[in-house]
Amino acid sequence: MRADTEQEILKTELWWTALVIAIVTAIMLAIIYAGVVHHINPPSNIETIDPKTLHLTGEFTESNLGTRVEAGDQVTSRVVATQFAFQPQCIVVPSNRTVTLRFATPDVIHGILVTGTNVNTMIIPGYVSQVHTVFTKTGDLLMPCHEFCGLGHSQMWATVRVVPEDQFRPGPDGRASCDAR
Amino acid sequence: MGERAVTHARRLTLAHLWVAFAAFAVAAVLGVWQMWARSPLPAPYLTAESYFTSVTAHGVSMAYVLTTFMVMGFGYYVAETALGRPLPLPRFAWLGFWLGIIGSAMTAVTIFAGNATVLFTFYPPLTASPFFYIGLVLVVVGSWIWCGLMLWAMLDFKRANPGVPVPLAMFATVANAVLWLWTTVGVAAELLFQIIPAAFGWNESVDVGLSRTLFSWTLHAIVYFWLLPAYIAFYTMAPQAAGGRLYSDTMGRLTFILFLIYSLPVGMHHLFMDPQQSSAFKFLQMSFTALVAAPTLLTVFTISASLEIAGRLRGGKGYFGWIAALPWERPMVLATGMAFFMLWFGGGGGLINMSFGMNAMVHNTSWVTAHFHLIFGGTVVIMYFAIAYAIWPTLTNRLPMSPRLQRLQLWLWFIGMMVMTLPWHYLGLQGQWRRVATFNYSDPIIAGWGPWVIVSLVGGIILLASALLFVWNLLQFHSARAVVATDLRPIYALAVHPPERVPAALNGFALWNVLVLVLMVAAYGYPIAQFFIIDAPEAIVHRVNGRG
């Protein structure tokens, strides 16, 4: 390391700065590539819903919760997160198909992840959280509440039951539940 | 007269640092108990209420009390010793101190009365007793007085020494004061306009998207407020302790300016998984977050070069021989080496956290807990220890016989931190989630985590041993043999080429404040304004006080 003159020091530091810029640029390019090519993006649909009335009308009323096959064979699962339980406690989804998960809460902040997958979102009162995913492994996965929501937070979790596509048999109304199997 | 003022500032520094380290010791005990609670081993006193009371106290003590009092106490020390002038307006400094004490006590009482189980990051619409928040506001107001005194001291020095560069240690301290004034705007707005009115019952509902966005304003920059004392030690104290010189004073100034600029418009990377912000602004703030890696990488280079100079002056040869030649027996040098080692792991994990989509793998898992314990509890706090060991002799005019126990304490902290956080990283990738009191180990997925949780608990016990030894070591100073102040070596390193004059931009913050303002308007202007445009539905306030 030469340090005889200020010029030499400046030159060395500038070389290092160029290397730092190259490293940061490479990281940014990798992130952009993952976002654009592999569609790995955070859940960011700014879609409002009134926490005070979501249980009375609209898609998060009790009878509409759980998994349903909708127009265009789209599998959608709707879950309400409350202090300190999910409704329903178990959702069934087919493997190897795109599934849309939609969450809302009438009370406080919650959040979910599904163990062994990249499914992860906050559930914020006032907003619908939406995640698109493909489950590749079958079996019962844990879906805990991962954000502090009060003293009962530790006891708040649900199950995601991933079944092989040929065993996923929704009823005539398009609905599928964990009990029906 | 000067002599009296100097003594006064020493008492001020000692008072601040003892409060900081007392809070730290209590929080370390609580932290180990929390890990015990989460492990498969049966823990005493465990209820949901006791656990979340403990988590709240641990977070508040470590993140607010330890840090704020450490930064303030060290700042007063630097202002006096680096500028070589008595601290201006010491009465105001004591006012700030007592505001912090009253605020901390008020907050502690509400927490341990069970009226504040909202953790240190609040989570509205949950609301605690209003006195929990008012106590924290008093701590912040006390720290604002500190910010004003740091600016005042620097301007005083400039007036008395026209054209003379502000010494790097003080320049960096003022950078931190300016950073903190910007940082606290977000949380102050959240507390004063949203949470405290809700806690008093004046508001029955709260806009949660807005409160999370305001808190994110503070949430990342605050960690740089905690971090900068460690960087001040890297640049000014470590090269001196190693027997070398600072490679480049200019790069030091640039680094602290970059921290000021790029630690602020980046907080939204804590909201990647939130539904109330768009991908566009998340991406913008992610890009700024990537840039904040730059000052850290520049520091790694400049400090390594400075230590290389020291190693070669001590006879080190070849590409790596200078490393072995460094005086590792000196606590400041040893701590710097350990801090850098933990910075590689913690910084690498941080790059994954900030990676936009990849964040979904780790958000709210133990990975994140591991990341910030490693980088704050590891890199930053180990430098707090080293700073304390370096300045305690001049604060007390006393010196223990041998730094052997100091080295042991640093090694225990380093080993404990690695043993605790490496399993947490692994468990986070397995999906272990955060902020729960207990796990259901009869579940087959969770059962496999048990052994690793116990390993991390062992790390926590080592950390507790180190924390208690640290307090013991500091107490040893107060009963050690007295030395005269002239025995004590200067603690700040000279640069290889000490600056004679520096451009105004590298000697003050006016220009950089304008740049911060522009960036903050770009990064946070619309994301905050949108809540008033889209008229987001509010959530009903849930009060946790009264054990409800």
Q: How far is B481 from chain A (nearest CA, A)?
A: 41
Q: Do B436 and A21 touch (CB under 8 A)?
A: no
Peptide bond just before B444 cis, omega within 30 deg: no
The Cα B313–Cα B305 span in angstroms is 12
At residue B269, the pLDDT reads: 95
Q: What CATH number has the domain bearing residue B235?
A: 1.20.210.10
**Same-domain check for residues A148 and A116:** yes
Contacts of A108 in chain B (CB under 8 A): 123, 125-126, 539, 542
Q: How far is A114 from chain B (nearest CA, A)?
A: 7
A9 found inside a domain: yes
Q: Do A31 and B286 touch (CB under 8 A)?
A: yes
Q: Do B275 and A107 touch (CB under 8 A)?
A: no
Instruction: Find the catalytic residue in B371, B376, B439, B531.
Output: B371
For residue B128, the enclosing domain spans: 2-543
DSSP per residue, B77-88? HHHHHHHTSPPS
Residue of A27, A31, A36 best to disrupt the B interface, most CBs of B under 10 A: A31
Q: Which residue of A has its CA nearest to B304?
A: A1
Q: How far is A175 from chain B (nearest CA, A)?
A: 26
The dihedrals phi and psi of A102, each to the nearest 5 degrees, come to -125, 130
Q: Do B52 and A113 touch (CB under 8 A)?
A: no
Residue of A2, A21, A120, A143 best to disrupt the B interface, most CBs of B under 10 A: A120
**Same-domain check for residues A82 and A152:** yes
Q: Do A113 and B279 touch (CB under 8 A)?
A: no
A68 found inside a domain: yes
Taking phi over 0 as left and psi of -120 to 50 as alpha, with beta for the rest, B44 belongs to beta
A181 found inside a domain: no
At residue B401, the pLDDT reads: 77
Read off the DSSP letter of residue B506: G
Sequence-separated (6 or more) residues with CB below 8 Å from residue B446: A142, B432, B439, B440
Q: Do A51 and B273 touch (CB under 8 A)?
A: no
Count of domains for chain A = 2
Residue of B52, B246, B274, B309 best to disrupt the A interface, most CBs of A under 10 A: B274
Q: How far is A172 from chain B (nearest CA, A)?
A: 33
B125 found inside a domain: yes
The Cα B328–Cα B334 span in angstroms is 5
- CB of B46 within 8 Å of a chain A CB? The answer is no
Q: What CATH number has the domain bearing residue A83?
A: 2.60.40.420
Instruction: State yes or no: is B340 an active-site residue.
Output: no
Residue A31 tokens read as 């992130």
B548 found inside a domain: no
At residue B2, the pLDDT reads: 37
Q: How far is A66 from chain B (nearest CA, A)?
A: 20
Task: Check if the beta carbon of residue B492 is closer than 8 Å to that of residue B167.
Answer: yes
Pairing assessment for the beta strands A157-163 and A90-94 based on DSSP bridges:
parallel
3-state secondary structure A110-137: EEEECCCCCCEEEECCCECEEEEEECCC
Q: What confidence tens digit (pLDDT) does each residue in A103-141 have? A: 999 999 999 999 999 999 999 999 999 999 999 999 999
Per DSSP, the three-state class of A75 is strand
The Cα A25–Cα B431 span in angstroms is 30
Total CB pairs under 8 A between chain A and B: 220
Count of domains for chain B = 1
Question: Is the four-CA dihedral B232, B233, B234, B240 of positive or negative sign?
Answer: positive
List per-residue pLDDT tens for chain B, 548 residues long.
334 445 678 899 999 999 999 999 999 999 999 999 999 999 999 999 999 999 999 999 999 999 999 999 999 999 999 999 999 999 999 999 999 999 999 999 999 999 999 999 999 999 999 999 999 999 999 999 999 999 999 999 999 999 999 999 999 999 999 999 999 999 999 999 999 999 999 999 999 999 999 999 999 999 999 999 999 999 999 999 999 999 999 999 999 999 999 999 999 999 999 999 999 999 999 999 999 889 999 999 999 999 999 999 999 999 999 999 999 999 999 999 999 999 999 999 999 999 888 899 999 999 999 999 999 999 999 999 999 999 999 898 888 878 999 999 999 999 999 999 999 999 999 999 999 999 999 999 999 999 999 999 999 999 999 999 999 999 999 988 887 665 556 789 999 999 999 999 999 999 999 999 999 999 999 999 999 998 889 999 999 965 44
What burial class does residue B484 get, using C-beta atoms within 10 Å of its C-beta: 0-12 exposed, 13-18 middle, 19+ buried?
exposed
The Cα B376–Cα A57 span in angstroms is 46
Side-chain-facing half-sphere of B373: CA atoms under 13 Å = 25
Q: Do A125 and B438 touch (CB under 8 A)?
A: no
- CB of B291 within 8 Å of a chain A CB? The answer is yes
**Same-domain check for residues A28 and A74:** no
Q: Which residue of A has its CA nearest to B432?
A: A115
**Same-domain check for residues A17 and A67:** no
Q: Do B275 and A43 touch (CB under 8 A)?
A: yes
Q: Which residue of B has its CA nearest to A140?
A: B445
DSSP per residue, B235-248? IIIHHHHTT--BS-
**Same-domain check for residues A68 and A113:** yes
B464 found inside a domain: yes
Instruction: Find the catalytic residue in B372, B384, B492, B531.
Output: B372
Instruction: State yes or no: is B245 an active-site residue.
Output: no
| Residues linked to residue B495 through DSSP beta bridges, in sequence order | B246
Q: Which residue of A has its CA nearest to B290?
A: A24
CA distances from B205 to A11, A106, B197, B536 (A): 58, 12, 10, 12
**Same-domain check for residues A29 and A111:** no
* Closest to B424 measured CA to CA, from B381, B369, B463, B372: B369
Instruction: State yes or no: is B330 an active-site residue.
Output: no
CA angle B208, B210, B215 (to 5 degrees): 95
Q: Do B48 and A152 touch (CB under 8 A)?
A: yes
The Cα A42–Cα B277 span in angstroms is 10
The Cα B303–Cα B313 span in angstroms is 15
A139 found inside a domain: yes
**Same-domain check for residues A72 and A143:** yes
DSSP per residue, B283-326? HHHHHHHHHTHHHHHHHHHHHHHHHHHHHHHTT--HHHHHHHTS
Q: Do A16 and B301 touch (CB under 8 A)?
A: yes
The Cα B200–Cα B129 span in angstroms is 8
The Cα B153–Cα B147 span in angstroms is 10
For residue A80, the enclosing domain spans: 62-176
Task: Tell me which residue in B291, B359, B497 faces A24 most closely, judged by beta carbons.
Answer: B291
The Cα A169–Cα A172 span in angstroms is 9
CB atoms within 10 A of CB B7: 11
Task: Tell me which residue in A17, A42, A148 faces B435 most closely, judged by beta carbons.
Answer: A148
**Same-domain check for residues A133 and A101:** yes
Instruction: State yes or no: is B224 an active-site residue.
Output: yes
Q: Which residue of A has its CA nearest to B309?
A: A1
**Same-domain check for residues A152 and A123:** yes
**Same-domain check for residues A29 and A68:** no
* Closest to A156 measured CA to CA, from A102, A101, A80, A52: A80
The dihedrals phi and psi of B526, each to the nearest 5 degrees, come to -70, -45
Per DSSP, the three-state class of A74 is strand
Residue of B434, B436, B540 best to disrupt the A interface, most CBs of A under 10 A: B436
Instruction: State yes or no: is B489 an active-site residue.
Output: no
Per DSSP, the three-state class of A5 is coil
At residue A115, the pLDDT reads: 95
- CB of B344 within 8 Å of a chain A CB? The answer is no
At residue B486, the pLDDT reads: 55
What burial class does residue B442 get, using C-beta atoms within 10 Å of its C-beta: 0-12 exposed, 13-18 middle, 19+ buried?
exposed
A51 found inside a domain: no
A49 found inside a domain: no
Pairing assessment for the beta strands B539-540 and B205-206 based on DSSP bridges:
antiparallel
**Same-domain check for residues A33 and A85:** no
Contacts of B297 in chain A (CB under 8 A): 16, 20, 23
